[in-house]
Structure 1
Amino acid sequence: MGAQSIKSNLVLILDFGSQYTHLITRRIRALNVFSLCISGTSTLQSIAELNPSAIILSGGPHSVHAEGAPCFSPELIHYVESKNIPVLGICYGLQLIVQKLGGEVKVAGKHEYGRMEIEVAKADGLFGNKKVGAKQSVWMSHGDEAVRLPEGFEVVARSNQGAVAAIENRARGFYGLQYHPEVTHSPEGMDTLKYFLFDICEISASWKMQDILDEELKVIKSKVGPNDLVICGLSGGVDSTVAATLVHKAIGDRLHCLFVDNGLLRWRERERVMETFERDLHLPVTCVDASEKFLSRLKGVTEPEKKRKIIGEEFINIFDSFGQELKQKYGKEPVYLVQGTLYPDVIESCPPPGSGSTHSHTIKSHHNVGGLPKNMKLKLIEPLKLLFKDEVRELGKIMGVPEGFLKRHPFPGPGLAVRVPGDVTLGNHLDTLRKADEIFIQSIKDAGIYDNIWQAFAVFLPVLTVGVQGDQRTYSHAIALRAVTSHDGMTADWYDFDHKFLAELSTRICNEVVGVNRVLMDITSKPPSTIEWE
């Protein structure tokens, strides 16, 4: 968000590589407190510029003893104490606090993984009004343990094995939990986070989506000059549409939207989307058919990352061409490009800009983040880049975007290119996928369960399988179906369809889609898989 919102009541999370780190971000935002995650190795300057009200050190897979183990800036201790900024270390974060403030961490005699029980050892400590001896179930995952605390620290709780489970030094403002309060397997974890935020840090629950909207409008108005032209690539998805609606509110008709048919769209997507833009959203949109350009560049390309980068590059080429058309019309080139980049896009594609992260891994390059060419002329406006999908939907609702549109399932920027593993230009693979996908989505809608599912789609599998259709042997393709439930796209579980529904769906696809004789169901959660196949 803009500078103002993250300079009041910001909880800054320093990420040391835990699989749960971004769950901390979500849990804190759910309490109406703005939280932001950056690399644990960020410079003090980048931390100070954000002016946090509290800092949380995340867990991580490393040992504090390992060579090259990530650590916060050596200047951080003095900074937080001089500014009276409370610090909470979680798991690896606790061990960093102990080690860097003069205590001792050793390899645990007994490892603690999974559900464990802890017992409160100090009244009026980090657990608020919990009495000494009170017990609670928590989720642990650590191989090291604190065996000697720094001077002035107290043990607030111990595990049922006697290991240190929680510590604090109120005078210096340091606290630590040797378990993960952010996961649902720690049922009372949210109570502990609330106590830390609202009682210890005295942060107010004042982060509201209306405030974010008001501030982003101010930021965009101040950023875009009075005569600057701005273009926005609309995909037909929720993210780009909400971003365009927000920018249109800020600068009016100086925003010029472009919808590109890249040949990788779903069944009748172009017609449906343009109708929605014109009839319901009243956005000024130019439609360009660039399917031949995209497909010719993708011919023979099978590597997923390469496909994403080609698509991102080609989009920018089209935006540049569109910019030249606007220059001929208005006598000046556009200065900015609006994108509906979300926080999960940034997280998965690369560490947040300026984080200096060396221990976060790129999961995949989103075409609008890691896939953008370095020599791009246009400057970016990304008003949603610190929001999760559910927050974007809430923002769209405030701005009057139709609810039916906001409930649309996510659709990837690279389109069907990431749902056809391998060369997307071979045979009629795209057409086959479109037909199967349309049957799948329409069946979900007819069954009245579309809104219960975060995302559903079909995947074309580039393999041939033997079948029997019409008493004849066939050697045709297989289609995989994927449907997941999620809150923000960071984690997901597969949707458990009724078996009768699946049987009828499989029959329909095999009967109505030429070249398909087998239907498979993807029942993998995220993690270990991602939602999309590529």
Structure 2
Amino acid sequence: MSEPRSPKRAKMAAEEAVFSHHATILVLDYGSQYTQLIARRIRDQNVLSMLVPGDVTLDRIKAANPKTIILSGGPNSVHLEGAPRVPDGFFEYCEEKDIPVLGICYGMQLIVHQLGGEVKVATDGGEYGRMPMTVVRESTLFSTETQDSQAVWMSHGDEAVKLPEGFSVVARSEQGSIVAIEHPGRRIFGLQYHPEVVHSERGGETLRHFLFDIAGMTGDWKMEDVLKEEMEKIRLQVGPTDHVICALSGGVDSTVAATLVHRVLGDRLHCVFVDNGLLRYKEAERVMDTFNEHLHLPVTKIDDADRMLARLKGLTDPEAKRKAIGAEFIDVFSDFAHTLEKELGHKPRFLVQGTLYPDVIESCPPPGKGQKHSHTIKSHHNVGGLPEDLQFELIEPLRELFKDEVRTLGRLLGVPTQFISRHPFPGPGLAVRIIGDVTEGNHLSVLRDVDEVFINAIKEWGLYDKIWQAFAVFLPVRSVGVQGDQRTHSHVVALRAVTSSDGMTADWYPFQPDFLRYVSTKICNTVRSVNRVVYDITSKPPSTIEWE
């Protein structure tokens, strides 16, 4: 067996090999929930982006040899002690190398604060959500097509009140706050709003103008490059005789991850599908049939329902449930690794997961684990839910990708359409769709039946491919109703369906009243223990897609 390699050194070596062939945009991450969306919007233009922590050293910035730098948003206030800053000498280096800088939200405030301007707490409480913005003067930052009023996505409690010397205000919000600044001579620009979010109606145009007209980038990077890069990372990380375990859920993420790793390692990959008792109606049988008939991957099915449900018994807090599920999954994989050790003569020390970047953003590792500036939204079982004494070295080839990018990657790898087009299903399964104790009564059975009716109805009406994700939620309440001329006191379920491009933001799907009437009636008639159905009409944000 080969000697263990440093995953950090392996990743950096792979990055350097790829970045040396492409003009790179460096995105300094100050903890915004939208930071990876910036990198994503850049990729959409076939421009390579590299995401690094906001407290990166100037030497590391220089080593990346960026052609452009973007400073992200974040939850901090620049005028408070300990707030993150760009490294000393940053602006001087950018001017010397003629590197354009764009600050977004906190990034703009950072520019103002560090170059001698002033940022204060907004007197009116800040600006949040979609709001009108007006360009107040002709500028370099905005193209001819965007030199007018437009709706933009705000999310800030501080505002710039005095600009550094030489900077100009080029746009203001409806409330009069400064939302766009520039110093064309120094090639430094700032946006208080989030152009990377789809709710900013001309945000994409503004970013494209900055990338190509101001920064002079070329669109020479494609998803084929991502595939090559991730395969190279795996070759660098895994030795020539090492064997690897893959957590295979049956969803698009883990399936694409497994297919990619299998292409590199062949029969040294061992896939494990865990029936944890939290799957949808007949999910285990359907998934295994598809694995065997279409993917031809080496898959071992493990029944862990009793252990998983015992571990969840009495847990009602969403974070506690996610962490318990993550720990149990790791125990299962550890047991499987011991079994393989007897066959191979050594224990596999690598675990492949289909982790996506939205999982990482929402889980947000705590200080000391790679990110110091973000706020945790919820711990995904495969990120924040993992135990601290993890016995595996992780391989996560999709960790910096969004769902639609993963689907594109899957098509390149030849993954069957029925996998690529599947709606997302959370790793913790139905546990995060039952509010409260998962193990009480027949809640799991009721939810499975309701979910099956709902999804089948969506398919019958030809709506499945128009929706990003659809599911049912079991609510911890009972409702009085009338069924068969008799009083009932039965369960209440919520239905949720959303549209999205990447899972970072989402809008609820506007079903026609006829469909809602049809599916509600069918659920109440088919699942007799349910007498009330409600529909969730909340977008993300302020909610998340899943309820827990």
Cα 1:337/1:505, change in 2 over 3 Å? same
**Aligned match for 1:126, one of 133, 141, 156:** 141
Structure 1 unaligned runs (5+)? none
Deviations 1:209-246 (A, max 9, x none): 11111222222123211110001010011000000000
Structure 1 partner of 2:228: 214
Matches within 5 A, 1:338-487: 338-351=352-365, 357-487=371-501
Cα 1:204/1:328, change in 2 over 3 Å? same
Does 1:320 pair with 2:337? no
Measure the CA separation in 1 of the matches of 2:534 and 2:520.
8
Structure 1 partner of 2:6: none
Measure the CA separation in 1 of the matches of 2:215 and 2:346.
50
Cα 1:439/1:194, change in 2 over 3 Å? same
Matches within 5 A, 1:508-527: 508-527=522-541
Cα 1:315/1:51, change in 2 over 3 Å? farther
CA contact (8 A) 1:112 1:140 kept: no
Does 1:307 pair with 2:321? yes
Measure the CA separation in 1 of the matches of 2:366 and 2:283.
32
> Which shows bigger deviation, 34-43 or 156-165?
156-165
Matches within 5 A, 1:487-498: 487-498=501-512
**Aligned match for 1:40, one of 42, 54, 57:** 54
Measure the CA separation in 1 of the matches of 2:178 and 2:223.
39
Instruction: Supply the AA of the counterpart residue of 2:152.
Output: W
CA contact (8 A) 2:450 2:527 kept: yes
Structure 2 partner of 1:116: 133
Does 1:90 pair with 2:104? yes
SS in 1 for 2:204: helix
Instruction: Supply the AA of the counterpart residue of 1:147.
Output: K
Deviation at 1:439, TM superposition (A): 0.8
Deviation at 1:292, TM superposition (A): 0.8
SS in 2 for 1:530: coil
CA contact (8 A) 1:233 1:257 kept: yes
Structure 1 partner of 2:244: 230
Cα 1:512/1:139, change in 2 over 3 Å? closer
> Which shows bigger deviation, 219-228 or 252-261?
219-228
Cα 1:465/1:155, change in 2 over 3 Å? same
> Which shows bigger deviation, 102-111 or 302-311?
102-111
Cα 1:164/1:505, change in 2 over 3 Å? closer
Measure the CA separation in 1 of the matches of 2:537 and 2:153.
27
> Which shows bigger deviation, 436-445 or 4-13?
4-13
Q: TM-score with structure 1 length normalisation? A: 0.91
CA contact (8 A) 2:72 2:107 kept: yes
> Which shows bigger deviation, 271-280 or 183-192?
183-192
Deviation at 1:39, TM superposition (A): 4.1
Structure 1 partner of 2:268: 254
SS in 2 for 1:315: helix
Deviations 1:483-519 (A, max 9, x none): 1111111111111112111112112111211321111
SS in 2 for 1:52: coil
CA contact (8 A) 1:14 1:55 kept: yes
Measure the CA separation in 1 of the matches of 2:32 and 2:233.
33
Cα 1:220/1:357, change in 2 over 3 Å? closer
Deviation at 1:459, TM superposition (A): 1.2
Structure 1 partner of 2:168: 155
> Which shows bigger deviation, 161-170 or 7-16?
161-170
Structure 1 partner of 2:4: none
**Aligned match for 2:148, one of 110, 135, 138:** 135
Two-structure CA RMSD over aligned residues (Å): 2.7
Structure 2 unaligned runs (5+)? 1-10
Instruction: Supply the AA of the counterpart residue of 1:519.
Output: V
Q: TM-score with structure 2 length normalisation? A: 0.89
Structure 2 partner of 1:533: 547
Percent identity of the aligned residues? 59
Deviation at 1:353, TM superposition (A): 9.2
Structure 2 partner of 1:144: 159
Instruction: Supply the AA of the counterpart residue of 2:328.
Output: E
CA contact (8 A) 1:118 1:165 kept: no
Measure the CA separation in 1 of the matches of 2:108 and 2:320.
40
CA contact (8 A) 1:42 1:356 kept: no
Deviation at 1:179, TM superposition (A): 4.1
Deviations 1:86-129 (A, max 9, x none): 2112343233223312344567799985212113345xx33356
Instruction: Supply the AA of the counterpart residue of 2:476.
Output: P
CA contact (8 A) 2:173 2:179 kept: no
Does 1:53 pair with 2:53? no
Measure the CA separation in 2 of the matches of 1:166 and 1:523.
33
Deviation at 1:149, TM superposition (A): 2.6
Deviation at 1:198, TM superposition (A): 1.8
CA contact (8 A) 2:365 2:384 kept: no
Measure the CA separation in 2 of the matches of 1:337 and 1:289.
19
Does 1:282 pair with 2:299? no
Deviations 1:186-218 (A, max 9, x none): 544333322321233222112211111122222
Measure the CA separation in 2 of the matches of 1:180 and 1:483.
25
Deviation at 1:32, TM superposition (A): 1.6
> Which shows bigger deviation, 498-507 or 451-460?
498-507
Measure the CA separation in 2 of the matches of 1:52 and 1:183.
24
SS in 1 for 2:136: strand
SS in 1 for 2:272: strand
